[in-house]
Structure 1
Amino acid sequence: MRFKVNVSGKGDKVVSVDGNEKLLGELLQEIAETFGIDMDNVISVRFGYPPQTVKINDESIVRPLEDIGLSSGEKIGVTLKNDNDMSNISPQNKQNNGEVALKDNQSSFVADDGVKWILQQHVVPDDNSCLFHAISYCMYKDISLSKGLRERVAKEIMQDKETYNEAILGKAPRLYMDWILQKDSWGGGIEIAILSKVLNVAVYVLDIDALKFEKFNEDKYDEFIIILFSGVHYDAIESTTKKTVFNVKTDEAFCQMVLACSLEIATKMKKGGKSFNSQKANIVCNICHKTFMGEREIAKHAESTGHTDFGQA
């Protein structure tokens, strides 16, 4: 059996195991040897579509690969424990006192255990799919799954037309489904709420202009991700060790520091002019070059012309 394996920071490699009755632990051992990592540092593996995650513990490592759903040719993503290794930071990025010089899109805090964490903005492509990219990156470290997230939204809408009715969507469910499947269609609150439910994770949207969070399903899920919203674009929040999913039940104090640190990043970005109020700002259509005031005028223009490429005037 052959697998294409990705380990964060170490790239992709092909890993092979002999036989069809191998256990997950045996595959992990091969992965550890191939990448030169400690098997004990592996906390989960993800694979399949829609992606599923298997946490590594005493029970899962003795399960046959076939029972888990792993078959030859599968692409596997491996998540490691955060080791907070700062050795990859170049000398020119350090201050004289040895501290790391933070960028405008970074902020740091020291956790209760004395470990220093650095949070930062992770920029995703600005191609009208940025919301899906940001959520896909937070969940899977892989924006190639963004198209699949659009499809999950469309599927949920068609399966629950009572909840997602014309009054909520602004158009018939079938028309909305066809629209959101288009790669140029912007996602917003409806899509965030649906994906939060589908992925079993709360989504905290940090509005850079308003400097506040809009929290989707925080009362339902302990785990949450943070995405930044500039007014026209979404990005992800991550630590420098690529941690993007946080658990308020596991460590509430840590999560409060994460939220405060994220707000500091948003404050820096707002001061740097990297946000605007989409309700008041002038927005230009990059296709016909007409200028509009606020989201409502944009929506009307997009509906009547099919234009979907907008930017700040």
Structure 2
Amino acid sequence: MQSSSNCFVGSDPEKYTEAFLGKPNDEYCAWIQDSDKWGGAIELSILAEFYGREIAAYDIQTTRCDLYGQQTKNYHERVMLIYDGLHYDALAMSPYDGAPEEFDQTIFPVRSDRSIGPVENLALNLVKDAQRRRNYTDVASFTLRCGVCQIGLVGQQEAVAHAQATGHVNFQEYR
């Protein structure tokens, strides 16, 4: 188990309590440092504080934008992510078509009105377009097949229960 001193969260166990993390601080630090584990809203909140930037996370399925780091801090920069039901990906703005990736802008200044200007509308339009094209996974109702025993499953809950009961972890989505 990793020491909590190797973990940003472990440096402030009074702030990052079991109530906030969903598990004891030391246990959380070991868990989050495991490369097989994935983060979500809690981790986005922590990362906003760690980097001193707002994080806007756009959900394709609902087109909702959750903003982390804006409530108690007055951060002057924002990054944007897009969530497809399984993964978060960074949103970047290219200065022109075909520009090299190193020219992409991923950090945007936050204005006095707490917006980032027209970039917000561009991001929302991108998310709405992805929603229209159904470029997301509905983890509550997607269909999976176990790659080991070929049983069909519906949703993340059934997949987790099957994995816990059988030890099988190789699943493929199918329609």
Is TM (by shorter chain) over 0.5? yes
Q: Give 1:278 shift.
A: 2.5
- Residue aligning to 2:111: 249
CA-based RMSD of the aligned residues comes to 3.4
**How far does residue 282 in structure 1 lie from its aligned partner after superposition?**
3.6
Q: How does 1:218-229 map to 2 (within 5 A)?
A: 218-219=70-71, 220=73, 221-229=75-83
Alignment-mate amino acid for residue 243 of structure 1: Q
Equivalence for 1:237: 91
1:192 aligns with 2:53: no
Asked whether the 8 Å contact 1:227–1:235 carries over to 2, the reply is yes
| Structure 2 equivalent of residue 135 of structure 1 | none
Are the counterparts in 2 of residues 211 and 266 from structure 1 also a CA contact under 8 Å?
yes
CA shift at 1:244, angstroms?
1.1
Q: Would the aligned equivalents of 2:4 and 2:30 in 1 still touch at CA under 8 Å?
A: no
Secondary structure of 1:238's counterpart equals coil
1:272 aligns with: 133
> What runs of 5+ residues in structure 2 fail to find an aligned partner?
96-103
Distance apart, 1:301 and its partner CA: 6.1
SS at match of 2:7: helix
Aligned length: 161
2:55–2:81 contact (8 Å) kept in structure 1: yes
* CA distance, structure 2, for counterparts of residue 184 and residue 268 of structure 1: 31
* 2:73 maps to 1:212: no
User: Which residue of the other structure, out of 19, 23, 26, is the alignment partner of 1:171?
Assistant: 23
Asked whether the 8 Å contact 1:225–1:245 carries over to 2, the reply is yes
Alignment equivalent of 1:260, drawn from 107, 116, 121: 121
Query: Cα offset for 1:249?
Result: 1.9
Pair 155,167 (structure 1): closer, same or farther in 2 beyond 3 Å:
same
Distance in 1, Cα, partners of 2:69 & 2:61: 22
Cα 1:168/1:269, change in 2 over 3 Å: same
Segments of structure 1 that go 5 or more residues without pairing to the other structure are: 1-150
Q: TM-score, normalised by structure 2?
A: 0.72
Whole-Å separation in 2 of the counterparts to 1:174 and 1:285: 33
- The 3 A distance-change label for structure 1 pair 256 and 212 is farther
More strand by percentage: 1
CA contact (8 A) 1:203 1:224 kept: yes
**Aligned pair in 2 of structure 1 residues 297, 214: CA closer, same or farther (>3 Å)?**
farther
**Given that residues 179 and 185 in structure 1 are in contact (C-alpha distance below 8 angstroms), is that contact kept between their aligned partners in structure 2?**
yes
Structure 1 position 236, deviation (Å): 1.2
How far 1:308 moved relative to its partner?
6.8
Q: Contact (CA 8 Å) 2:5, 2:11: kept in 1 or not?
A: no
Identity of counterpart residues, as a percentage? 27
Q: Secondary structure at the match of 2:121?
A: helix
TM-score (norm 1): 0.43
Which whole-Å CA distance do the structure 2 matches of 1:288 and 1:180 have between them?
A: 30
**Alpha-carbon distance in 2 for matches of 1:152, 1:261:** 40
**Structure 2 SS opposite 1:190:** helix
Aligned pairs (5 A) from 1:286-297 = 291-294=153-156, 296=157
Contact in 2 for aligned 1:206/1:227 (Cα 8 Å): yes
